[in-house]
């Protein structure tokens, strides 16, 4: 074997003549100067104007009107104060008969109200938030406002991914359009049609709990009702909202639960410009969950649209798609949606999450009150047996439960 040295000629290095370099710099100077001015302008607008000047002027003008509050802290606002007070309140234990839960869930509101009065301003980052206590006239004016002066707040990116930009978050003409489409799906007659499904889901939960109790020697079982009601409401909404696609609805529910955990963890974090686009571990997870949720809802919607000849169904999604379909003068349906597919996906996110969260919490709170006040258990049991006997409740006898309505007002 013969070895030979291999000579590789080094690459030659050529330098750009100085006069060409100067010409290049001279031609590029306006572009570089423009970019520099753009960066300086953006930094001035964001740091000086948005983070310093606007909060200062807003606080000054509000003070003139007699509205005070905790001082603004650069970039962070009052977020750290809120987080600290919430952490301190986590260890607070209330008496079972003490229904004053605000010190446990919203200690910052109570503290600032005692310091600054019933109407005060606090800072969510660099954005002012005005809180009103017991001023029902102001609340009425804000909620019934039609002049456009009271805008809905910009929501946290993760909250937007979780809740969707549905009826809760849209404004103006879009809100009117969404409400016109959604309202027919929530009439009492159509909701009564879903009573049997709701009763069947509740009966299944009770049957499972009875089985767990009978499996123990003492015939008892320990139950975390908040978790049981979460499962129950997810099952009910999945079946009533998505019908035969309820398994996909359950998938959507679990995905939203994971998004909710991210939203809770990051809600009080300072939102830096462009940070939501950075490929961090949390952002990757949020993007994956958001895509999964949209994809799942798209599968459900597409399956309904494909079965148009047999009708969209009597569940909430079917009623919404039906309401979105216009009718020609000759009575034939034409496939023209008043909402786009993306808007329908947002509405699905909204009514699924909003319905699940509020209902499960209300059920948990109701059962808690019944456990604290057993006399109400007896009153409700007598009424149910009187109106329903051994049969399950249905849509027709719901209006007869007067004691239940009284308890609802007490809750």
Q: DSSP states of 311-378 as a string?
A: -S-SSHHHHHHHHTEEE-TTS-EEEEESS-HHHHHHHHHHHHHHHHHHHHHHHHHHHHHHHH-HHHHH
Residue owning tokens 């990757």: 284
- For residues 289 and 321, membership in a common domain is answered with yes
Within a domain: 253:
yes
Domain of 343 in residue numbering reads as 172-372
- pLDDT (average), residues 7-29: 58
CA distance 223 to 170: 39
- For residues 179 and 247, membership in a common domain is answered with yes
- For residues 108 and 183, membership in a common domain is answered with no
Instruction: Compare 193 and 147 and report the one with higher pLDDT.
Output: 193
- pLDDT (average), residues 91-102: 83
Within a domain: 125:
yes
The DSSP call for residue 68 is B
- For residues 144 and 270, membership in a common domain is answered with no
pLDDT averaged over the chain?
82
Within a domain: 46:
no
- pLDDT (average), residues 164-168: 87
Domain boundary (115, 150, 185) is at 150
CA distances from 328 to 187, 248, 335, 336 (A): 24, 33, 10, 10
- Answer whether 122's CB lies under 8 Å from 129's CB: yes
pLDDT of amino acid 34: 79
Domain boundary (338, 353, 372) is at 372
Within a domain: 318:
yes
Which H or E run includes 76? Answer: none
Residue 121 in 3-state DSSP? strand
Within a domain: 32:
no
Q: Give the largest Cα separation in the chain, rounded.
A: 108
Within a domain: 377:
no
Instruction: Compare 121 and 191 and report the one with higher pLDDT.
Output: 121
- For residues 272 and 220, membership in a common domain is answered with yes
CA distance 396 to 192: 8
Domain count, the chain: 2
Q: Where residue 114 falls among pLDDT bands split at 50, 70, 90? A: very high
CA distance 334 to 49: 51
Residue 208 tokens read as: 């499972």
- For residues 202 and 308, membership in a common domain is answered with yes
| Residue 300 neighbours by CB under 8 Å, 6+ apart | 242, 245, 248, 249, 252, 317, 348
Determine phi and psi for 194, rounding to 5 degrees.
-95, 5
Within a domain: 223:
yes
- For residues 205 and 77, membership in a common domain is answered with no
CA distances from 286 to 248, 267, 397 (A): 19, 13, 44
- Answer whether 368's CB lies under 8 Å from 203's CB: no
> What does pTM read for this prediction?
0.76
- For residues 137 and 185, membership in a common domain is answered with no
Q: What is the pLDDT of residues 334-379, one digit of tens each?
A: 444 577 788 888 888 888 887 788 889 889 988 988 888 899 899 9
- pLDDT (average), residues 193-202: 86
Q: Where residue 153 falls among pLDDT bands split at 50, 70, 90? A: confident
Residue owning tokens 């879009």: 174
- For residues 319 and 265, membership in a common domain is answered with yes
Within a domain: 9:
no
Residue owning tokens 């940070």: 275
- For residues 114 and 259, membership in a common domain is answered with no
Q: What angle do CA 198, 254, 393 make, to 5 degrees?
A: 5
- For residues 245 and 365, membership in a common domain is answered with yes
Q: What CATH number did the domain enclosing 234 receive?
A: 1.10.630.10
CA distance 333 to 305: 13
- For residues 137 and 245, membership in a common domain is answered with no
CA distance 285 to 325: 36
């Amino acid at each position: 074997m013969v070895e030979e040295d291999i000579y590789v000629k080094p690459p030659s290095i050529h330098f750009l003549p100085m006069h060409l370099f100067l010409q290049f710099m001279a031609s590029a100077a306006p572009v570089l100067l423009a970019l520099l001015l753009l960066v300086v302008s953006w930094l001035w607008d964001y740091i000086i104007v948005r983070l310093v000047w606007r909060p200062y002027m807003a606080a000054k003008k509000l003070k003139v009107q007699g509205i005070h509050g905790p001082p603004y802290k650069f970039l962070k606002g009052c977020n750290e104060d809120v987080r600290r007070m919430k952490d301190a309140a986590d260890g607070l234990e209330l008496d079972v008969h003490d229904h004053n839960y605000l010190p446990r869930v919203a200690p910052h509101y109570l503290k600032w109200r005692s310091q600054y009065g019933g109407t005060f301003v606090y800072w969510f980052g660099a954005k002012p938030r005005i809180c009103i206590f017991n001023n029902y006239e102001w609340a009425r004016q804000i909620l019934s406002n039609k002049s456009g002066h009271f805008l809905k707040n910009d929501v946290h990116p993760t909250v937007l991914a979780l809740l969707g930009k549905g009826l809760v978050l849209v404004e103006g003409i879009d809100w009117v359009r969404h409400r016109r489409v959604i309202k027919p799906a929530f009439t009492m007659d159509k909701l009564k049609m879903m009573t049997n499904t709701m009763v069947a889901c509740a009966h299944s939960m009770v049957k499972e709990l009875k089985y767990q109790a009978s499996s123990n020697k003492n015939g008892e079982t320990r139950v975390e009702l908040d978790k049981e009601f979460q499962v129950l409401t997810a099952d009910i909404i999945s079946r009533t909202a998505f019908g035969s696609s309820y398994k996909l609805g359950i998938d959507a529910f679990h995905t939203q639960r994971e998004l909710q955990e991210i939203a809770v963890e990051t809600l009080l974090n300072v939102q830096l410009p462009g940070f939501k686009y950075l490929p961090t571990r949390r952002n990757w997870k949020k993007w994956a969950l958001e895509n999964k949720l949209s994809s799942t809802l798209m599968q459900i919607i597409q399956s309904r649209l494909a079965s148009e000849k047999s009708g969209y169904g009597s569940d909430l999604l079917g009623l919404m798609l039906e309401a979105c379909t216009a009718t020609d003068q000759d009575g034939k349906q034409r496939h023209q949606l008043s909402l786009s597919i993306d808007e329908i996906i947002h509405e699905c996110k909204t009514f699924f999450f909003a319905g699940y969260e509020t209902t499960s919490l209300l059920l948990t709170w109701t059962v808690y009150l019944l456990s604290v006040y057993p006399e109400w258990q007896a009153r409700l049991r007598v009424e149910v047996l009187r109106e329903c006997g051994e049969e399950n409740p249905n849509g027709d006898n719901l209006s007869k439960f007067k004691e239940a309505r009284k308890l609802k007002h007490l809750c």
